[in-house]
Amino acid sequence: MPSGRIRGLSDDGLGVLQAGNKTVYVPFAYPGDMVGVKSTRRRFGRLIARDFELLEPSPLRVLPRCRHFEKCGGCLWQGLKYRAQLELKAELFERITGIRAEIKGSPKIWGFRNVSNFIVTTSGVGLKEYGNPFGVVGLSECPVFSKRTPEYLRALRDFLAETKLRPWSLKRKTGDVHYLQVREGKFTGEVMVNLIAHRSPAEETAEAFRDYFSFADSLYWSLKADDRDDPRGEPELVDGNPFIRERIGDVTYLIHPNSFFQTNSYALELLLRAVEDFTDGERVLDLYSGVGTFGVWLAKRGFAVEGIEVNPFAVEMANRNAELNGVNAKFRVGRAEETTIGDYDTVIVDPPRRGLREAGELLVRSGVERVVYVSCNPKAFRLDYENHLRKAYRVEEAVLVDMFPHTPHVEATIKLTRRR
């Protein structure tokens, strides 16, 4: 049994154990822990511990709040003191990017998530097990999401029991109900429930759905036409309002089942203010604008904003959000890498996890003085900077915002200024 002290963390937040000539990566282990690894598996060329014994705890440890910790894959770092989480996130970011940055903690570290996707399977109802694609942790609570989690799950289980709808089999890829998605407006108190299923509801099923989830302000049934394991389908409104609202500072956002919205409402204002602080001039291009999260906020502060987004529905939502807030922001459909970057003072980019790629060259060839790069993927930023952006820009400043407590992830806002 390999044993020893965890001396550091991998880039993805696993404890690193050096045992002789072997390196073992230990999930849920932290710097300073003395561990004994009981079994391992090989994944992507690394030895990953399946199970370990904690022989001596690190002084960085704290008692986790969730009873499902170390089984559920949602909170890899819940056993770490929060101050240690922040310090380690900043260290990992600097190690990957070479940038030393201030980190701002989340105002709340419990009940902060505004969405949860509960998987509904023959193995249980809850969230995925860490490292097991077919394993599901049957949840009774989720402290990072909501105090109302037991209520939501009880309504789901009672609804399934009455209607006899079959949960999804991950191995056979058969069944009726696949996911229950719940969204909460943390600052409005509004709730959206969206059931993702592989069949349309009969009228009596829809009636039962309305009855069991009568607490929802917006109730959707999403028909899923494929067998991929994700919480996506074609949503149809069953009852209530087509949108719920979230209010961040003085801006109200509409949320729909197909909307991407930052998952931590409490820390989102910190992120928006970081972007605002790095934005100069009058004219702003919001590239990868989504539902207008950054663009509408900046327009509320007096900037003239134009947004580009490849998803037509997101563009529709962004324009609704601009109209709702009465701001000078216009969003249109387009591909970032095909966008002509005109006379803008600042360009905001919040690219998908793979990064800018070809769009980086457009920025290099543009005359834009300032780029504000927002990302939760520091490796993608590093590649974008090394391969493209450094030809024309230098890193002036960066701020990290902890949108994801109890995980290794962090959101970075990086201010890039054109070289002279």
* Contacts of 317 by beta carbon, 8 Å cutoff, 6+ apart: 254, 256, 259, 291, 292
- The Cα 109–Cα 81 span in angstroms is 11
Q: Tokens in use for 147? A: 């105090």
- The Cα 48–Cα 42 span in angstroms is 6
Q: Which is it for the CA torsion 164, 165, 167, 169, positive or negative? A: positive
Query: Is residue 376 flagged as an active site residue?
Result: yes
- The Cα 411–Cα 329 span in angstroms is 24
Catalytic residue among 66, 75, 142, 376: 376
Nearest to 370 by CA among 351, 353, 394: 394
- The Cα 223–Cα 179 span in angstroms is 11
- For 298-307, the CB contacts below 8 A with 24+ separation are 298/329, 298/348, 299/325, 299/327, 299/328, 299/329, 300/250, 300/251, 300/325, 300/327, 301/276, 303/279, 303/328, 304/328, 304/329, 305/329, 305/330, 306/330, 306/331, 306/332, 306/344, 307/331, 307/332
Percent of residues in the chain assigned helix, strand, coil, to nearest 5: 25, 35, 40
CA distances from residue 161 to 119, 121, 164, 209 in whole angstroms, order as listed: 16, 14, 5, 12
CA distances from residue 101 to 87, 90, 197, 252, 399 in whole angstroms, order as listed: 11, 7, 43, 30, 5
* Catalytic residue numbers, as ranges: 376
